[in-house]
Structure 1
């Protein structure tokens, strides 16, 4: 009788272990899919903002330089198309990466601010602000991705890692965060000196 009880208990434990591994694997796939969707959303938004910033620069430069009305109207129409193209990636990014809300709003607001610049110097400064805001959004997204991967590794990976592995992962997160932030600040400083 004991062998039968042990066999049943072993079978039940095997089923529980298999179910646990399967649930963990499903959760891992869902998290990876969510990270891919976040990356796609942020990438699409940055691309749309670059296109809109370029279109606004052309539009305002044409207006400020006294280009013919037809050229200004064509540039205005192009900027309307690129502005509309920002909406979908904006919403998608806010849905999949709500932690980036402030950076998203700032990047969009600064790209839209190029409109009706009073002179060429102001237009250049507004463009610089828009570039910096897009860089800050990119850095924040990168920092978030690295931090999410670290938290995933520490909290969810099986089997639990030794303390020193977790310490190395957290150190890597800190270095990446510092590097991303430092690169953004360094790029801003280079652009300021180039003026």
Structure 2
């Protein structure tokens, strides 16, 4: 009888040990999977933020180039057809800013990055009214370039965290 009780007790202890080991292993695996998923989400968010920053910077750069060409052509008195083409191109590049700007606003909540983005866009849009003389156009272009550089630097510092 004692041997039977001892065998049963040993079996119960072995089963409980196995169950406890399974529970601990399961929890460890679940936490490990949750941690890996959290890291993957963080990496994906960082990639999305980087894409938003670079897409916005590229769109603003294209718009600045288009506005410079438009202003320069206006000042030189280019043919109306050329001016119309450049106006159309600048409208396209201005519209192309919207999507990456919205993506940046959704993905990046940092006020410094948002402010730098807004300043960059505003400075670039200011090229539209600067086609009164060459100096005003060049000055406004330099301000737009400075806004661009500031945005890139602020965003790089933010993404470097």
The TM-score bracket by the shorter chain reads: 0.7 to 0.9
Which residue matches 2:29? 18
* Aligned-partner Cα distance in 2 for 1:40–1:68: 38
Could you list the runs of 4 or more consecutive aligned residues of structure 1 that deviate by over 3 angstroms after TM superposition?
Answer: none
* Aligned-partner Cα distance in 2 for 1:86–1:140: 19
Structure 2 unaligned blocks of 5 or more: 1-11
Encode CA deviations 1:81-120: one digit per residue, 9 max, x unaligned.
1111111111111111132211111111011000121211
* Aligned-partner Cα distance in 1 for 2:117–2:154: 10
Encode CA deviations 1:142-162: one digit per residue, 9 max, x unaligned.
111111xxxxxxxxxxxxxxx
Worse-matched range after superposition: 60-69 or 48-57: 60-69
- Taking only aligned residues, the RMSD between alpha carbons, in angstroms, comes to 1.1
Q: TM-score normalized by structure 1?
A: 0.72
* Aligned-partner Cα distance in 2 for 1:139–1:51: 19
Q: TM-score normalized by structure 2?
A: 0.87
**Structure index of larger Rg:** 2
Which residue matches 1:29? 40
More relative contact order, 1 or 2 (CA 8 Å, 6+ apart): 2
* Aligned-partner Cα distance in 1 for 2:115–2:89: 27
Structure 1 unaligned blocks of 5 or more: 148-195
Shift of 1:137: 1.3
Which residue matches 2:9? none
